[in-house]
């Protein structure tokens, strides 16, 4: 670990994950707000920057018709990586994270789809792998939606406890 790389960023590197720049907001809102020891993160999607630095959706559509559960899981993982990039942008250092408290996740899915929890595990599994059971396992809601903005398969908002 270098002197400028924190413990969490080193774990990410060991997992083969390089944080992208935070996604660009697509509306008039803040990506995150700190109140006391709580960081509230806005909803974000599973986007990745392209060669022109535009946010692109590598996996798009409805889970259950256009997108498989496995692809939805991967989109949720991209989304979690974007949330980590937002956390770093707001906090300056991922080592300030005490624990992941709650994720409210939305899955864009076909009528009758009843397994949004399997899709959102893509994010939850990453947080547990990165922060461990005690700090990474969190409360969660996994909600189905008939549509999400920009045809995203998943979106989630987060509540994170930070070290002050």
Residues 118-145: tens digit of each pLDDT = 999 999 999 999 999 999 999 999 999 9
At 85 the three-state DSSP class reads: helix
pLDDT of residue 5: 76
**What are the beta bridge partners of residue 35?**
38
Contacts of 101 (CB under 8 A, 6+ apart): 38, 138, 139, 158, 159, 160, 161
Please determine, for residue 1, whether its predicted confidence score (pLDDT) is greater than 80.
Answer: no
Q: What percent of the chain has pLDDT over 70?
A: 98
Please determine, for residue 2, whether its predicted confidence score (pLDDT) is greater than 60.
Answer: no
To the nearest 10°, report the CA torsion of 141, 11, 77, 140: 0
Instruction: Yes or no: say if 75 and 67 are a contact pair by the CB < 8 Å rule.
Output: yes
> Residue 104 class from Cβ within 10 Å (0-12 exposed, 13-18 middle, 19+ buried)?
middle
Q: Fold for domain 7-17+33-157?
A: 60s Ribosomal Protein L30; Chain: A; (3.30.1330)
pLDDT category at 3 given cuts 50, 70, 90 is low
Please determine, for residue 4, whether its predicted confidence score (pLDDT) is greater than 80.
Answer: no
Query: Residue 160 has what DSSP assignment?
Result: E
Q: Report in angstroms the alpha-carbon separations of 20 from 12, 46, 113, 147, 160.
A: 12, 12, 31, 26, 20
Average pLDDT, the chain: 96
Query: Residue 73 has what DSSP assignment?
Result: H
List, for residues 12-68, the tens digit of each pLDDT value: 999 999 999 999 998 999 999 999 999 999 999 999 999 999 999 999 999 999 999
List, for residues 60-107, the tens digit of each pLDDT value: 999 999 999 999 999 999 999 999 999 999 999 999 999 999 999 999
Q: How far is CA 125 from the centre of its chain?
A: 11
Which pTM does this prediction carry?
0.95
At 124 the three-state DSSP class reads: helix
């Amino acid at each position: 670990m270098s002197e400028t790389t924190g413990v969490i960023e080193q774990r990410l590197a060991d997992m083969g994950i390089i944080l992208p720049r935070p996604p660009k907001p697509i509306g008039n809102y803040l990506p995150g707000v700190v109140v006391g020891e709580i960081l509230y993160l806005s909803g974000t999607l599973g986007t990745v920057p392209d060669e022109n630095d535009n946010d692109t959706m590598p996996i798009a559509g409805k889970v259950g018709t256009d997108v498989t559960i496995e692809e939805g899981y991967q989109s949720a993982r991209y989304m979690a990586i974007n949330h980590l990039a937002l956390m770093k942008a707001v906090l300056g250092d991922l080592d300030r994270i005490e624990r992941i408290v709650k994720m409210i996740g939305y899955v864009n899915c076909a009528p009758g789809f009843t397994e949004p929890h399997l899709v959102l595990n893509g994010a939850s599994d990453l947080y547990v792998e990165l922060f461990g059971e005690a700090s990474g396992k969190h409360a969660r809601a996994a909600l189905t939606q008939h549509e999400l903005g920009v045809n995203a398969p998943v979106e989630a908002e987060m509540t994170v406890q930070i070290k002050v």
